[in-house]
Amino acid sequence: MASTINVYVFPNSGQAASQQSKDEGECYNWAVSNTGSDPFELQKQAAASQQQTQQQVQAAQRGAQGAGARGAVGGAATGALIGAIADEDKSEAAAWGAALGAVGARRHARRGSEQAAAAASSSGAATQQATAEQMDNFKKAFSVCLESKQYMVKY
């Protein structure tokens, strides 16, 4: 059991493999109850968290797509309105508005997308750090228990 969580155990007192397996099972249960963390559940949670982070980053990147077209439409309408008010050529004002709207919208969407992706990555990293700390605490408790049963333990 210990090797599945990257903990190395050596029987100092010549314990048989069956005894070591029994002791590891007891110490596993003791460590779970004392830390509140089950390493196998932590691994599942870490995988789910990593997948969720990747999905959030991808969604943030997709959010910027189409922003230029949407900005062009809004810019064209604004340009045409300004052209009508200023008594200028509405089509030329609409074209300038569309160009400026597209550039501005792309820039704004890209910035928002980058910020959202960075936030998702940061959140994912914090979750991974917390999971690593929980796993480390579990391994410490597991090791203490096995050492009390005369095993040499390294992780």
| Res 67: pLDDT | 59
Q: What is the pTM of this model?
A: 0.63
Total structural domains in the chain? 1
Q: Which domain holds residue 99?
A: 2-154
Over residues 23-63, the pLDDT tens digits come to: 999 999 999 999 999 999 998 988 888 888 888 777 766 66
**Of 1 and 74, the one with more pLDDT:** 1
Over residues 106-140, the pLDDT tens digits come to: 677 777 777 777 887 788 888 889 999 999 999 99
Which residues fall within 8 angstroms of residue 131, CB to CB, at 6 or more apart? 42, 45, 46, 49
| Res 72: pLDDT | 63
| Res 71: pLDDT | 62
* Angle at the Cα of 131 from the Cα atoms of 53 and 154, rounded to 5 degrees: 135
| Res 53: pLDDT | 81
Over residues 76-100, the pLDDT tens digits come to: 666 665 655 665 666 776 676 666 6
Indicate the residue type of 90. Answer: K
